[in-house]
Structure 1
Amino acid sequence: MAKSIMHSKDDRTCYLCMLLRDDYSARVDLQEHHAMPGTANRRLSEHYGLKVYLCVEHHLVGPEAVHNNKRLLRLLQANAQIAFERRYSHEKWMEVFGRNFI
């Protein structure tokens, strides 16, 4: 299991709580979310560390849950691309994922 290049699990924060609400409080209900959906892309997300940790509200339940909110899903995908390209390159991103989210 690769370590995330987007967000540290160690601080127990929800990635979207921090991003959307400036809330850096520790959470007990964190769930791992792979930034790139789909079976093949999930494996690639795991391999490259393109994952974040989300509270249940931002992961599965409610209007701001990435599984219910396309705008927030796209935001995570764009942030994943930025993190990936910092480490590798835009060309490598396009080779691996084949779609530009920025």
Structure 2
Amino acid sequence: IKEAINIDPFSCIGLFGSRVSGGAKKDSDWDVFIITAKKKNMEKIGAKFPYAKNIHFEVFSIDEFEDNLVAREDTVVKHIVRNKQILFNPYPFYNIINNWEMVKYAPTQ
């Protein structure tokens, strides 16, 4: 987490998947999501930990996260929305959700 915060102190970092839902086994991996304005730099974070084989990073720009949220098909983002534990800076996540709900429930003319 510290490495990600050094890259973008305004990013949102959290866990999702079986470790959060309670279905994890002893050898289950850790699924980490990051929402950031510095996606290119953040995507390199996994390479800094070559021996951490059981950590899986999903890095999203804010636009990508929003696009995946409104996509018709089931996406990783939709799984994250349903089943997550935010570890650092929840504000980007909840701002995206709030904006999506405002659009989703806006009156039509």
Q: TM-score, normalised by structure 1?
A: 0.30
Which structure is higher in RCO with an 8 Å CA cutoff and minimum separation 6? 2
Q: Which has the higher strand share?
A: 2
Q: TM-score, normalised by structure 2?
A: 0.29
Higher-Rg structure is: 2
